[in-house]
Amino acid sequence: MKRNASSTAVLDDDRTEPGGPDQSVDVLRTEFAFTLPRGYVDAAGTVHRTGVMRLATARDELVPLRDDRVRENAAYLTVVLLGRVVTRLGTIDDVHAGHIEDLFASDLAFLQDMYRRINSEGHTHVRVTCPACDHGFAVDIAGSRLGE
């Protein structure tokens, strides 16, 4: 797999050779932008709502298991794990578990759901159906609040 500058990876297996029968290249998206429902409030009172989460690696899921905070309280695994995969939170580029600890509960739940979706399903879209007309469509849950 080769990485390019836009935080995606180009798959280099036989089925995606440029110039091959289908003339296409599969691209693996590795970073996902998001907007928190409430936002992280820093010490100066600045609210940071936008951010970026990257796909987790095996190391991201294994390293927190050796963390003393996780050994003492298994629920802390989520905080440490999200601290590793959230790469930007507003203007903060060095996100760590301390930032995740200070999120509102609704923002933590949002990031947990997003983590599950991008790492198991590979995207942040969910199929929904309009209750009035029964029309189905996809919604990107990583965007801003519904209705905005």
Q: What digits encode the pLDDT tens for the residues 73-123?
A: 999 999 999 999 999 999 999 999 999 999 999 999 999 999 999 998 765
How many whole angstroms separate alpha carbon 39 and alpha carbon 21? 47
Tell me, what's the pLDDT at 148?
40
Q: Which amino acid is at 28?
A: L
Angle at 114 between CA 80 and CA 46, to 5 degrees: 70
Residues facing residue 41 across a β-bridge: 47
Helices (H), the chain: 58-62, 68-72, 77-85, 97-101, 105-116
Cut 0.85: pTM above it:
no
Taking only the tens place, the pLDDT of each residue in 118-134 is 998 765 666 778 888 88
Of 118, 132, 133, 127, which is closest to residue 55 (Cα–Cα)? 118
Taking only the tens place, the pLDDT of each residue in 7-53 is 555 444 444 444 455 555 667 889 999 999 999 999 999 999 999 99
The token pair that represents 61 in the structure block:
């899921």
How many whole angstroms separate alpha carbon 83 and alpha carbon 147? 29
